[in-house]
């Protein structure tokens, strides 16, 4: 069996390759990267992992890279919506032309029904994959604990934890857990035409901060504000307006339940208890 991981130079993709390498021979694994001359590509090659160019803006590189591949992990691409859809379409059409048997795609929580602003683009991508007729698995990843590292550092330097998310809950999840779960899907059987919700324990902002305080021994206060004030504070800190808009929408989406999951398949795919937020923070801040 040949498994290709696109976005293998990225934070999630590289972890998936790393997890696969612990489970199957290197000859089974291929790393798809934009730059085959990069340092990361050299590391893969040194491990006996074949490296192929996968540029989502260049469909011909995808068709060539997917030759002889049984299963491909298609990483989410970000950017302007139209370009993102074009990139996704390129990947799916290339998989179809190359005869790939199964696509595993990293999606968003409840992408088929969620009103969370980031879910819409993933819903379109899922539909593109379904329409191809290729066997698929959607791994719908919740919010990474790692996404909070910038805010954590600011809070450790004395800033309060500012939020307009109210009592909204997030199923924060540790990226290595998602990588391991995805690797298990890529090498496993019986996952055809399935969507898995991969989430940690649902926690409020205050509960997250409580865990952070327990790990660090700090007494970081939580400062609840409304969306307008939150945006003004971000703008005052010098963040670009497009980023401010996205962060405010994220807080609003959390408040409205967009990142709260009624259930999670993470333990099922891992075969163990997922890493808790506290455990993840201990590892990230050690």
Neighbours of 125 (CB within 10 A): 26
CA distance 149 to 281: 9
Give the pair of three-digit tokens for residue 50: 């074949």
**Domain range summary for the chain, segments of one domain joined by +:** 3-142+174-198+262-271
Phi, psi of 84 (to 5 degrees): -65, -40
Q: In whole angstroms, what is the distance from residue 151 CA to residue 271 CA? A: 32
Q: pLDDT (tens digit, 0 to 9) for every residue of the chain, 286 residues total?
A: 999 999 999 999 999 999 999 999 999 999 999 999 999 999 999 999 999 999 999 999 999 999 999 999 999 987 778 888 999 999 999 999 999 999 999 999 999 999 999 999 999 999 999 999 999 999 999 999 999 999 999 999 999 999 999 999 999 999 999 999 999 999 999 999 999 999 999 999 999 999 999 999 999 999 999 999 999 999 999 999 999 999 999 999 999 999 999 899 999 999 999 999 999 999 999 9
pLDDT at 51: 98
CATH for 3-142+174-198+262-271 (3.40.50.720, 3.40.50.920, 1.10.3720.10, 3.40.50.300):
3.40.50.720
User: Hey, how many other C-beta atoms are within 10 angstroms of the C-beta on 265?
Assistant: 17
């Amino acid at each position: 069996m040949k498994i290709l991981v696109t976005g293998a130079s990225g934070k999630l993709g590289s972890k998936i390759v790393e997890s696969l390498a612990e489970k199957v021979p290197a000859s089974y694994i291929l790393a798809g990267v934009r730059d085959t001359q990069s340092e990361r590509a050299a590391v893969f090659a040194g491990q006996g992992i074949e490296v192929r160019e996968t540029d989502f803006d260049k469909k011909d590189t995808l068709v060539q890279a997917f030759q002889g591949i049984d299963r491909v992990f298609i990483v989410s691409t970000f950017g302007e919506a139209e370009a993102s859809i074009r990139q996704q379409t390129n990947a799916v059409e290339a998989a179809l032309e190359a005869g790939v048997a199964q696509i595993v795609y990293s999606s968003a929580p409840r992408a088929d029904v969620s009103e969370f602003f980031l879910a819409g683009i993933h819903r379109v991508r899922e539909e593109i994959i379904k329409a191809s007729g290729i066997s698929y698995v959607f791994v719908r990843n919740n919010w990474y604990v790692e996404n909070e590292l910038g805010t954590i550092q600011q809070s450790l330097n004395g800033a309060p934890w500012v939020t307009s998310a109210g009592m909204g809950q997030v199923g924060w999840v540790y990226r290595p857990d998602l990588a391991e779960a995805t690797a298990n899907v890529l090498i496993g059987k019986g996952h055809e035409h399935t969507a898995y919700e991969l989430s940690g324990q649902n926690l409020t902002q205050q509960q997250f901060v409580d865990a952070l305080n327990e790990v660090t021994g700090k007494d970081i206060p939580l400062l609840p504000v409304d969306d307008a004030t939150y945006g003004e504070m971000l703008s005052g800190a010098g963040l670009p307006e497009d980023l401010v808009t996205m962060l405010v929408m994220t807080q609003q989406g959390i408040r409205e339940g967009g990142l709260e999951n009624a259930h999670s398949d993470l333990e099922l795919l891992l075969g163990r208890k997922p890493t808790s937020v506290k455990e993840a923070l201990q590892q990230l801040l050690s």
